[in-house]
Amino acid sequence: MRNFTQVSYFTLGAYFDTGVLKYLYFVIVLVLFVCIISANVFLIVVICMNRSLHEPMYMFLVSLFANELYGSMGLFPLLLVQILADVHTVSYTFCFLQVFCLYSYGGIEILTLAIMSYDRYLAICYPLQYNTRMTFNKIAALTALIWLYPLFINIVLIYGMTGSLLLCRNIINKVYCDNHYIVRLACSDTTINNAIGLAHMFTVIFGLILLILYSYVRILKVCFSGCKQTRQKAVSTCTPHLASLFNFSCGCFFEIVQARFNPTHLQNLVRIFLSLYWLTCQPLVSPLVYGLNLSKIRIMCKTLLFGRKV
Q: What distance in Å separates the CA atoms of residue 78 and residue 279, rounded to the nearest whole number?
A: 13
* Contact by Cβ (8 Å): 257, 263: yes
Q: How far is CA 101 from CA 68, 133, 220, in A?
A: 11, 33, 36
Q: What distance in Å separates the CA atoms of residue 192 and residue 42, rounded to the nearest whole number?
A: 44
Rg (CA), the chain: 21
Which one-letter amino acid corresponds to residue 6?
Q
Contacts of 5 (CB under 8 A, 6+ apart): 92, 165, 166, 167
Burial of 295 (0-12, 13-18, 19+ CB in 10 A): exposed
* Contact by Cβ (8 Å): 110, 209: no
Reported as a pLDDT band with limits 50, 70 and 90, residue 226 is: low
* Contact by Cβ (8 Å): 34, 279: no
Q: What distance in Å separates the CA atoms of residue 99 and residue 182, rounded to the nearest whole number?
A: 10
Number of domains in the chain: 1
- Residue pLDDT, tens place only, 123-180: 888 888 998 999 999 999 999 999 999 999 888 888 888 888 888 888 998 899 998 8
Position with higher pLDDT, 8 vs 262: 8
Position with higher pLDDT, 1 vs 48: 48
* Contact by Cβ (8 Å): 291, 40: no
Mean pLDDT (whole number) for 45-58: 86
Q: Please say if the pLDDT value at position 223 is more than 80.
A: no
Position with higher pLDDT, 70 vs 307: 70
* Contact by Cβ (8 Å): 287, 247: no
Q: What is the CATH number of the domain that holds 6?
A: 1.20.1070.10
Mean pLDDT (whole number) for 91-118: 92
Show the domain range for 188: 2-306
186: helix, coil or strand? Answer: strand
E strand intervals along 146-253: 171-172
In this prediction, residue 137 carries a pLDDT of 93
Mean pLDDT (whole number) for 55-70: 93
Q: Please say if the pLDDT value at position 272 is more than 90.
A: no
Q: Buried (b) or exposed (e) across 175-184, using 16+ Cβ within 10 A?
A: bbbbbbbbbb
In this prediction, residue 2 carries a pLDDT of 44
96: helix, coil or strand? Answer: helix
